[in-house]
Amino acid sequence: MKTNAKIISTLALASLTLTMSGCGEFSYKRGASPTDFQAQKENCTSQYDTDKKIDACLAENGWLVVSADKPLIKDAAMLSSPDEQQDANESLAAKKRDPLDKLNIGSWWKMGASPNQLMMDGERCVATLGDDHQPQNNMSLVTRGFVICMKEMGWYAIAK
């Protein structure tokens, strides 16, 4: 658990640094080197012609890439529910964002906070929002309203 917390902290710090500086790119894959990343990126670039497709190729091969235009931490209003992800033909911008939409979260991050703090803040959000916002699957399936409430307490949801 401490290793995952260190990785998340490192990635979040890198994301923040890159966002603040407005330049650069940070890539990560457990056990891989920068040379491995370059080789995989060259492979993906030779197969695909758009940044979006290249990024998808890298993600399919286990790489996490963060830069100013590809943040690690997404705003709750921008996270997609599983229903929205399945309906590729409907514009996400046109779809109403319901606070009860279920969202898949990979992990939670807050500088200096412990897992106990996460649980206590989660309980506070449920007490404020109501039982319909009770997290599921060890806080990996939550409502959009829950994510917004947690953000107000300083937590960031890292999307799956």
For the chain, give every domain's residue range: 2-67, 82-159
Coil, strand, or helix at residue 37? helix
Express the helix, strand and coil content of the chain in percent, nearest 5 each: 50, 15, 35
Beta strand ranges found along the chain (DSSP E):
25-28, 64-67, 102-109, 141-143, 156-159
CA dist., res. 52 & res. 83, Å (int): 21
Category of 96 on φ-ψ map: left (φ > 0), alpha (ψ -120 to 50) or beta: beta
In this predicted structure, what is the pLDDT of residue 18? 44
Q: Tens digits of per-residue pLDDT, 49-106? A: 988 888 888 888 888 777 656 655 555 545 544 554 444 445 444 456 788 999 888 7
Q: Is the pTM of this model over 0.85?
A: no
To the nearest whole percent, how much of the chain has pLDDT over 90? 28
